Amino acid sequence: MRARLKLLAALALAAASLAVQGGAAASEPQDWSRAALARALDAPLGLPPVLHPADNPPTRAKIELGRKLFFDRRLSINRTMSCAMCHIPEQGFANRELETAVGVEGRSVRRNAPTILNVAHLDSLFVDGRDSALETQYLAPLTAANEMANPSAGYVVALLARLPDYEAPFRRAFGAGPSLDRIGMAFAAYQRSVIAGDSRFDRWYYGGEAAALSAPERRGFALFAGVAGCTACHRIGESFALFTDQAFHDTGYGWWREQLRQNPPPQQLVQVAPGVSYALPWRTVASVGEERPADLGRYEVTLDPADRWKFRTPGLRNVALTPPYMHDGGLPDLMAVLRFYNDGGRPHPGQDPAIRPLGLGQRDLEALAAFLAALTSPEVPRLVEEARSAEPDNW
């Protein structure tokens, strides 16, 4: 249990806020936030309650402000990039079109854009775990030179203070104008409302609906929890399942990608459009682009050599919605991921001993993929609709 989070106090405060704000007319443009707040205070089948910090209980006003900030392109240095341009609602709040994200002016980002679905339940953020709170996580992409490229956090505060359409939303949410902590609280409140559970797996496993899963999906679960050993890291509890142990592991993938970076093949696939790639000589690509940087994972946070190439175990809910996979988007689909683990990763000193050859056949892999697809929540379309409840502030 995170010591800084006091669930009961936060839920009581937020419930009071819901009661106060509950009289709004159903025809209000922001009426979506009523459902968002209720979801942030509840626990859908298969998920635990969201843990809200005692000093940031959710309210409709905070959630509405957080959504506005999330979609506002004016928050990047050249007014072209918003958070939602990498975390696209219609693409599982991730980006299915690019292996790695692209920032302002087409600058390359070395990692795949992760989904924000159920991000409220993560103990640490980013695949290397370098932040521990949604209230502070937003600062990194806003100020990274290859993402939104603002020169400082203070620059963003001053920008929001100058924009007249933010005065009223900040006053409604906090009774005060923009500040570093209030911006983070609003971002966090919105993201903690993007919750998606109640999948067919949940209805079968936790709800007792025997017909909720097909025979191949049930067989995939038996493999997942049995001979494949997936639950060693993708945990399933008695009353809920986050499908992650929240820990960091060297699966062999990061080490393998570093070997490829240091020893590139003669030709390299270059993606020019979604689903369209061409093979070009590596030297041609190198002559016009930046050198791909190394990615040592958790080591970059701890500087402990034992943490080289360790990355946080991702949750698997809604995983079928968010290809490509792995921290750099290097595996295009679920079958590629399953084959990687079936082969035992890429053995080297330091690889987690839980990663071993599994000897599964094609039919087994197909059953596993079918099970993973059953983790998709029916709530996602509603979350997309809420996200698009207003035009983005990009003028």
Each residue of 295-351: pLDDT tens digit?
A: 999 999 999 999 999 999 999 999 999 999 999 999 999 999 999 999 999 999 999
131-155 tens-digit pLDDT = 999 999 999 999 999 999 999 999 9
Query: Which region among 9-23, 89-103, 113-127, 137-151 has the lowest average model confidence (pLDDT)?
Result: 9-23
Paired strand residues for 278: 270
| Alpha carbons 2 and 53: distance in angstroms, whole number | 10
pLDDT value of position 99? 93
Is the pLDDT reported for residue 28 higher than 60? no
Span 342-382, pLDDT tens digits: 999 999 999 999 999 999 999 999 999 999 999 999 999 99
Q: What are phi and psi of 180, to 5 degrees?
A: -55, -45
pLDDT for 30: 66
Task: Please tell me the pTM assigned to this model.
Answer: 0.89
Which one has a higher pLDDT value, 26 or 393? 393
Residues 302 and 308: their CA atoms lie apart, in Å, by 9
Cα torsion at 135, 199, 8, 190 (round to 10°)? 30
Q: What is the per-residue pLDDT for 109?
A: 93
> Is pLDDT at 246 greater than 70 in this prediction?
yes
Topology alike, domains 7-196+379-387 and 248-373: yes
> Which CATH code, of 3.40.640.10, 1.10.10.10, 3.40.1440.10, 1.10.760.10, is assigned to 248-373?
1.10.760.10
- In this predicted structure, which of 7-11, 41-45, 201-205 has the lowest mean pLDDT? 7-11
* Per-residue tokens: 231: 């639950």
Q: What's the pLDDT at 291?
A: 83
Q: How many angstroms separate the Cα of 308 from the Cα of each of 84, 109, 327, 337? A: 31, 20, 14, 21
Share above pLDDT 90 across residues of the chain, in percent, rounded to a whole number: 85
Q: Determine the topology of domain 7-196+379-387 in CATH.
A: Cytochrome Bc1 Complex; Chain D, domain 2 (1.10.760)
pLDDT of residue 303: 98
Task: Identify whether the C-beta of residue 324 lies closer than 8 Å to the C-beta of residue 331.
Answer: yes
pLDDT at 288: 84
Taking the domains of the chain in order of start, what are their residue ranges? 7-196+379-387, 248-373
Angle between helices 180-191 and 167-174 (to 10 degrees): 80
pLDDT at 94 over 80: yes
